[in-house]
Amino acid sequence: MLDKKQNSGSGAAIRRRNMSKQMRLREWRGFRRLAAVAVIALPFGLAGCGSFFVCDKASCPASSSSSTSTTGDYFYATNSTSGVSSINGYTLSNTTLTATTSSPYALAYTPTAMAVSINNNFLYYGSNSGTSGGANGIYGYSIGTGGALTSLQSTALATTSVGAMTVSPDGQWLVVVNNGDGAVLATSVTDYSINSSTGQLSLIQTLPIVSGNGQTNSPTSIKVAPTGQFIAVSLGTGGFAVIPFTTSTGAMSPAVSGSFSIGGAIAAIGELAIDANNYLYLSARTELISLLVSSAGVAAATTTSTAATSTAAPFSVAVDGTAYVFGGATTNGSTSTIYGFTTTNGVLAATSQASFSGPTTLTKLAVDRTKGFLIAQGYASGSGLQVYSIGTAGALTQYGTVGTGTSTTVPSYIALTH
């Protein structure tokens, strides 16, 4: 009996062990099926990331599936010396400021504006007879290895009198404001579709722009909001204009014009910038003005809409994402200062290191695509163009400088890769 019980108990144990093995086998097979599904789904789940690791910097490299070029961090500056107009190209890095391949590039006409396509394949510059003494038009270059420029064609891609130009954030449109020809009603904004393969331009629409205060328009700056919802144009003594924009089609709606008076006098609007939250920053006579713009093009002053800069009009303004705003002003004929501000919902406040020395007769400011560098351009044979690294709390540290032309009658412009 004892042996029978032992045998019976041993059989039950064996059955239990077999059942346990079967259960483990089913679990293992289930796990393998889940793993297979996960492996199949993995590329799709990471397609939008571009990498397994998440980039938490201010600016991250584009994924391999992106249409954005993987060219270096370049910027181009117009430079006219000894009666010769040219574009100088530079490569930005953490330690050096070096010329791009074959820089400088001689031009047939003096540029009145420049812009780089979003895919970083093309550089456009505009000219007008009133400023350059040459033909009105938009000219194009392809951007090659090492930032080298090669002319797309000897003639203009489009004929228009260019006062300023920009490229829409989606890369589809080149948007141009003409120089106004010294008339109140003569200014217009035109957008062109960009062929991403050839760089050729196709006219989409031309929209007339009326002065915001009845004064003469003298446009100096145009930008498309990072959201793509509107275009903003500075009109000089004519104020400014906001144009509702449909980025999917390139359609522009009638402009909403405006102006400001400071100290009882009409404030001429210089450069402008727009941050990712639809705040518009205008450089006026002694102040930077911030406005929140709706998708309908209505610009409303923020709670604190102005921030003092200097006794002279700030000529340029640039934004670093949604964190910092930099304004540039020239006083005493040539001495220039760069002012730093933090921005919270459009409210401006001076940074702890509120002002920095800029190049002689400062005209243009720009922030590069990494949000790590500020470029300032003025007029000086030894240090007309200065580059600063943007540090903690918006502090600027100068790390590179090169010479530019010295004649302030020749316009200076900066265009950066994206």
User: What confidence score (pLDDT) does residue 186 get?
Assistant: 66
Residue 241 predicted with pLDDT over 50: yes
Residue 8 predicted with pLDDT over 50: no
CA 128 to mean position of chain CA atoms: 24
**What average pLDDT does the chain have?**
79
Q: What span, in angstroms and rounded, lies between the C-alpha atoms of 418 and 119?
A: 7
Nearest to 171 by CA among 74, 71, 67: 67
The pLDDT-based confidence of 405 (bands split at 50, 70, 90) is confident
Q: What span, in angstroms and rounded, lies between the C-alpha atoms of 405 and 380?
A: 6
Residues 72-85 have pLDDT tens digits of: 789 999 987 666 78
Whose tokens are 């062109």? That residue is 192
**Backbone φ/ψ region at 165: left (φ over 0), alpha (ψ -120 to 50), beta:** beta
Question: Helix or strand or coil: residue 26?
Answer: helix
Contact 165, 190 (CB under 8 A): no
Residues 330-368 have pLDDT tens digits of: 876 678 889 999 998 888 888 988 889 999 888 899 999
**Which CATH number among 3.30.559.10, 3.60.21.10, 3.30.465.10, 2.130.10.10 corresponds to the domain 74-416?**
2.130.10.10
- Find residue 5's DSSP bridge partners: none
The pLDDT-based confidence of 308 (bands split at 50, 70, 90) is low
- pLDDT (average), residues 265-282: 90
Residue 279 predicted with pLDDT over 60: yes
Residues 242-252 have pLDDT tens digits of: 999 999 999 99
Strand pairing category for 188-194 and 113-116: unpaired
- pLDDT (average), residues 381-408: 90
Tokens of 185: 């009603």
Residue 11 predicted with pLDDT over 70: no
The H or E element containing residue 132 is helix 129-132
Tokens of 127: 């000219």
Which pTM value belongs to this model? 0.80
Phi, psi (rounded to 5 degrees) for 386: -125, 140
Higher pLDDT, 125 or 85: 125
CB-count burial class (<10 Å; 0-12, 13-18, 19+) for 23: exposed
The pLDDT-based confidence of 266 (bands split at 50, 70, 90) is confident
- pLDDT (average), residues 47-72: 34
Domains of the chain by residue range: 74-416
User: What confidence score (pLDDT) does residue 5 get?
Assistant: 39
Nearest to 34 by CA among 207, 310, 26: 26
Residue 214 predicted with pLDDT over 70: yes
DSSP secondary structure string for all residues of 41-70: HHHHHHTTTSSSSPP-SSS-PPPTTSSS--
CB atoms within 10 A of CB 193: 15
Residue 181 predicted with pLDDT over 90: no
For residue 143, give Cα distances in angstroms to 16, 117, 124, 170, 413.
73, 10, 10, 19, 18
pLDDT above 70 as % of the chain: 75
Higher pLDDT, 36 or 105: 105
Q: What span, in angstroms and rounded, lies between the C-alpha atoms of 376 and 75?
A: 12
Tokens of 318: 């640039």
User: What confidence score (pLDDT) does residue 310 get?
Assistant: 62
Residue 96 predicted with pLDDT over 60: yes
Q: Which DSSP symbol is given to 410?
A: S
User: What confidence score (pLDDT) does residue 97 get?
Assistant: 81
- pLDDT (average), residues 308-336: 79
User: What confidence score (pLDDT) does residue 180 get?
Assistant: 56
Nearest to 270 by CA among 194, 324, 219, 209: 219
Phi, psi (rounded to 5 degrees) for 3: -65, -40
The pLDDT-based confidence of 118 (bands split at 50, 70, 90) is very high
User: What confidence score (pLDDT) does residue 113 get?
Assistant: 93
- Angle (CA) 197-191-224 rounded to 5° is 95
Highest mean pLDDT among 23-27, 80-84, 143-147: 143-147
The pLDDT-based confidence of 192 (bands split at 50, 70, 90) is very high
CB atoms within 10 A of CB 86: 17
CA 115 to mean position of chain CA atoms: 10
The H or E element containing residue 123 is strand 122-127
Contact 277, 269 (CB under 8 A): no
User: What confidence score (pLDDT) does residue 126 get?
Assistant: 92
Length of the chain: 418
The pLDDT-based confidence of 134 (bands split at 50, 70, 90) is low
Question: Helix or strand or coil: residue 85?
Answer: strand
User: What confidence score (pLDDT) does residue 314 get?
Assistant: 63
Q: What span, in angstroms and rounded, lies between the C-alpha atoms of 96 and 387?
A: 10
Contact 416, 82 (CB under 8 A): no
Residue 141 predicted with pLDDT over 90: yes
Higher pLDDT, 290 or 186: 290
